[in-house]
Chain A
Amino acid sequence: MRCNILKLAILLGALFQVLGVESGETYGVDFGVVVNKANPVEDLSLKEVEKIFKAEKLFWDHGKKIVLLLPEAGSPEKKVLLGLVYKVSDEELKQFWLTKIFRNEIPLAPKVLSSNTAVIKFVEKVEGAIGLVRLNGPIENDVKIIRINGKLPGEPGYEVRLE
């Protein structure tokens, strides 16, 4: 009996370890577009999101500069953006940014941050910032998730997810 309890405890511990490690894929999970709480934007169409993430729109309507944050290569957030917005590979995206810099459309490539925490903390500090984060639970920081085509993450028809 005591042996079985111990075996069960060890098995549970191992199981928690496996579940605790971040998996590379998060299919069926919603991703939220976050902006600073002071940003008056509440809702964006998918076309507007595309324009912002392609740096075709560089200023918010209220005049603040858009500070675009990108996830790092290989992350689930990046895969969502490549599929939904850019529709190119990661290597082709590098060519895309260099071309825009060369044409003086943007002076620098967008910032790349390596984690959801970094994105959220950055957006919290910078009023014009916008980023994409995976939604593991409620976000406690001073940022807000905006509606995309009128939908919030989790609502039927919300399109920003990894399929």
Chain B
Amino acid sequence: MTPFQKYVRGPLCFPNQSLWKAYEGESAMKKLRTGSLLFTFWLSLTSVIYSQESEERVSEGTLHELLGGIEERTSFHGFADIQFRFEDPSEGEERSFFTLGQLDFFPTAQLTDHISFLNETIVRAATGEQQIFSVERLIIKYAIRDSFNLALGRFHTALGYWNEAYHHGAWLQTTIDRPEIMTFNAILPIHSVGVELSGILDFPTFDLSYVANFANGRGITPAQVQIFSDANNDKAYAFKLSLRPKGLPGLALGPTIYYDVIPPDISTPPKFGETTELILGGHLVYLTKRFEFLAEYFNIHHDEEISSKTFDTNGFYIQTAYQKGKLKPYYRFDFVDIGKGDPFFSSFIDIKRHTVGLRYDVATFNALKLEYAWQDTDVTSANLILFQSAFAF
């Protein structure tokens, strides 16, 4: 008898019971048979029980962690980008350079069910190859209900769509640069420090979102954000509506209005007096998984107190893109017409710009963008080739 016959085939099938009995004895054979049956049923029983309990057991301690740990109530993200730029002006020498975009740190926290915090601090280039930290957003938000939220701090002014949708995150936006009317330089008052009310109203056939600002307003130069004080007692008011029809998901449109009194700049004679600023604008946006269409228009009206002169600056952009897999070709037209002789906008020039580009999402949170742009200004025209790697973390 082989070992297999003796220890496996024999006990299992008992083909040669006499041999098995002779080896182990009858009582052992019965035990083995019973044991095999019991083992098989135990195996099948435990497999059924295991399948019902294979889902995670949740202890009270685990639930506590899920509900309340500080680590569960905070998050930290960031954005950054690196670019290569080639500029070929019609007058002057061509130049090319690598440049760091803004490094954007972005912590958020849920303090309670109704109170949350957001900060956006960036590291950006300043003059003379210096880099500076800048707090771009610092918001504490009290979410009362879907139709009413109250926020305090520094935020992006309620001006149209792009300013509140893309902030400083290059990875979020399709293109490399912001629209010319939306640059941080800033023709528009991109940032405000004050109070923001916002909410979404649910109607049967559409949703209506609103944002209202009450803030310090502009400083004596376009790019100055009055963070710690207000040079005059006049506050800035902004109000934006965005209507989203339920029958056409992805469509949003609405008006914007902004009013402020710009303080005088006694060091600059043309700006000795205050300037009333009234901005009217609108946005039309259609976004689906495949298709992107963005269009915004703004008119900035200035009324000088001392000279009684008025100036109108107009600007708009139209952007369209189509997503095909990881690739997204796009086109944008920018137009800015600065009010002639407006002393507040003396450092700005008219610009028309055509941009065509291709975005490739190489990873979930990394996009490569390649663009060609042709721009025509008061001073010169130029061909531009730009490359960017933008990412989020």
Contacts and interface: CB of A to CB of B under 8 A. Distances in A.
Interface of A: 2-3, 5-7, 9-10, 12-13, 15-17, 19-22, 47, 56-59, 63, 65, 87-88, 91, 94-95, 98-99, 101-104, 107-109, 111, 113-118, 121-122, 125-126, 128, 136
Contacts, number: 131
B41 interface: yes
Contacts of B116: 107
Interface residues of B, number: 61
Contacts of B45: 16
A121 B60 CA distance: 9
A13 B109 CA distance: 52
B106 A117 contact: no
B324 interface: no
Contacts of B47: 13, 16-17, 19-21
Given A20-B48, A115-B56, A103 B12 contact: no
Contact of A3 (B13, B165, B364): B13
Contact of B106 (A2, A88, A102): A102
B82 interface: no
B37 A116 contact: no
Contacts of A21: 47, 51
Given A3-B12, A20-B51, A63 B145 contact: yes
Contacts of A107: 75, 108-110, 116-118, 141
Contacts of B15: 3
B167 interface: yes
Contacts of A102: 77, 106, 167, 169, 172
Given A115-B55, A117-B57, A101 B145 contact: no
B56 A118 contact: yes
A13 B40 contact: yes
Given A102-B169, A107-B110, A6 B364 contact: no
Contact of B165 (A91, A103, A113, A128): A103
B118 to A, nearest CB: 5
